[in-house]
Structure 1
């Protein structure tokens, strides 16, 4: 392992970064720690010591860069200064200098794939009520699973005195979608819709968790829909999205709004289980990606759909995670950071 080369690369990165501390979370550092597990036990101590020495050297470079940034003097802005209404309009930046945010671009890509599969795309809401967040999805009041979502609530209440919520999943739109397209069933057509939009959860922030992220909800209802249709739909979508053939599997799970419920996993599209150091699947060859299942009869009844006549499936997948896997992004917080050095890569 060439420690000097790693130190040289990371030192240069820290010396140019406006956030030098993040270099200590670089994938190169993680790779060094992961390598320790592969060494014989009598070599791990010495290797770990060299890794710690490398980090100490980086901390010196980081501190120097911090001091440089602290010395940058910005001219003060006089917010009380009068505005000259006759001043010329400033030139706007040309659109060629901007790029589409990676999440926006991938949402368009996801929607396009599902649209070609016969699904329509709907939008969610920034603020919603507890009925659509919980009751319509078979979470009765007092249900313990309500506590699992870490939901943000407002001081404002609805007409029933219940506090409004910032949606923790785009499943809040499921009842509305089922009611909006109920007429499709009477015409012998399926209800097929996806809802890719922003959601909010009270999460402890780290490289894999963010309080604001994006999720795509999928709903399909018709006569004779079964688990095989669910698996085939998700497999076809993921193969199209990642551009290669994938194996999939489902494991039993529990969600109040589906029965039966599953965790859906796909074969690693990057190492195919052949690389024990794979950063995506950790060498296991499988990635647990999303939750799904057959729509619970109570959820269908809440939308005035007869569960004895119609069946359907639903799924929910984190869009941020799909994009992170696709482009090898190591930290979910980059998406909401507004950092140009990250966004300019797309």
Structure 2
């Protein structure tokens, strides 16, 4: 109960007897900062009944005053004491050196780098494009006509309307594929890593922004067999030999035929768990043969050239690789989580 907590912390404050300035600072960090005990107790106070508020309101304010007074007294006690920092500034060479902690690579960066390296070995280059896109590159060129119901597949963050054209945060890195094909001539063999945005509720399985790697290969006589073998090789390289793969028919406006690719769950090894919904399989990417309309929209002769495309979410790949069950961890900047991954030495 709140009253018991106040009593417990009051005793702790009364018994507090600092021996140096560091103790005083630790006291401040524990009780008086925005995420400290005093603030937490006031937040808990909001949830108690009106009858309890009348009794505890005065007690809680007195507790806050006690903590502040104790800190001020302790701070003034050590105000004139020489600190180690002052000694360092004065140049005391007898002090031990200041160690520094090495940073670590973000898990998404680690996986993104690994994905890029795998496809580079297959001859894919890396292409990039803007995160704020116009309607043509984000939708229309990719076979999303105006008012097409497929546009509802992706909840879009629209930024503005410019010259009658919707400007939005890109919903996929497929827009980079369009720019690549518009600017050059086949053959194309490229991957497009980057951040994308969709207006979705944030949960353990979804976020309003995430990261993708999409791939494109356009040349003469490219077949679905080429697509399957490329992605099978990718999975074996990333998750290890023996990882099972299956393709399921699907629908995407910019590919025909289209498929979703599943791998055997890396967490339960196919036995069934929450992540794979007890199916033993986890979907990791969508793929298909580039729709002839998309090639024609980009000025490429669809009768001469064909190609395949694929796209995957880096968060999903990372979840499976490191057995992380909540993708919100990737954007919370919790050092305890991030420090578990590979150290970056510069």
- The TM-score, its normalising length taken from structure 2, stands at 0.69
Matched residues in 1 for 2:108 and 2:39: separation?
Answer: 30
Pairwise CA distance, 1:68? 6.6
Give every structure 1 segment of 4 or more consecutive aligned residues whose post-TM-superposition deviation is greater than 3 Å: 65-69, 71-75, 93-96, 269-272
Matches within 5 A, 1:49-128: 67=37, 70=40, 96-128=101-133
Over aligned residue pairs, what C-alpha RMSD do you find? Answer: 2.5
Pairs within 5 Å for 1:178-193: 178-182=181-185, 185=186, 190-193=187-190
Name the residue aligned to 1:315: 310
Q: Is 1:162 matched with 2:159? A: no
Aligned match for 2:213, one of 187, 193, 216: 216
Cα distance in 1 for partners of 2:182, 2:121 equals 23
Quickly say closer, same or farther: Cα 1:233–1:181, change in 2 above 3 A: farther
2:10 corresponding residue in structure 1: none
The question of whether the paired residues in 2 share the 8 Å contact of 1:124 and 1:198 is answered with no
Displacement, 1:105?
Answer: 1.7
The reply to whether residue 133 of structure 1 matches residue 103 of structure 2 is no
The C-alpha deviation readout for 1:99-154, integer Å capped at 9, x for no partner, is 12111121111111110111001123221111101011011111111122100011
- Label 1:205 to 1:171 Cα distance change in 2 as closer, same or farther (>3 A): same
- Looking at structure 2, the residues matched to 213 and 301 of structure 1 have their Cα atoms a distance apart, in angstroms, of 30
Contact 2:258 2:286 survives alignment (8 Å): yes
Equivalent residue number for residue 41 of structure 1: none
Check the 8 A contact 1:247/1:266 in 2, yes or no: yes
Distance 2:99 2:142 in 1: 46
CA shift at 1:94, angstroms? 8.3
Q: Aligned to 2:194, what secondary structure does the other structure show?
A: strand
Asked if 1:173 corresponds to 2:176, the answer is yes
Q: What is the deviation of 1:281?
A: 2.4
2:325 to 313, 330, 335: 330
2:75 aligned partner: none
Q: 1:124–1:196: 8 Å Cα contact kept in structure 2?
A: no
Distance in structure 2 (CA, Å) of the matches to 1:181 and 1:205: 38
Decide whether aligned partners of structure 1 residues 94 and 104 sit closer, same or farther in structure 2, where only a CA change above 3 A counts. farther
**Residues 275 and 325 in structure 2, CA contact (< 8 A), matched pair in contact too:** no
Does the 8 Å contact 2:112/2:193 carry over to 1?
yes
Kindly provide the CA deviation profile for residues 174-217 of structure 1, in whole angstroms up to 9, marking residues without a partner as x.
111223341xx3xxxx3110001000000011100000100111
Shift in Å at residue 280 of structure 1? 3.4
Q: Do the aligned partners of residues 118 and 94 (structure 1) sit closer, same or farther apart at CA in structure 2, a change above 3 Å counting?
A: farther
Q: How does 1:8-87 map to 2 (within 5 A)?
A: 67=37, 70=40
The one of 140, 143, 146 equivalent to 2:148 is 143
Secondary structure of 1:205 counterpart: coil
Against the structure 1 CA distance between its residues 95 and 108, is the aligned structure 2 distance closer, same or farther, given a 3 Å change threshold? farther
CA distance in 2, matches of 1:233, 1:253: 19
1:281 aligns with 2:276: yes
Query: Judging changes above 3 Å, is the alpha-carbon distance between structure 1 residues 70 and 97 closer, same or farther for their aligned structure 2 residues?
Result: farther
Query: Does 2:260 correspond to 1:263?
Result: yes
Quote the Cα distance in structure 1 between the aligned partners of 2:157 and 2:141.
18
Contact 1:169 1:215 in 2 (8 A): yes
Indicate the SS of the match to 1:210: coil
Distance 2:169 2:316 in 1: 20
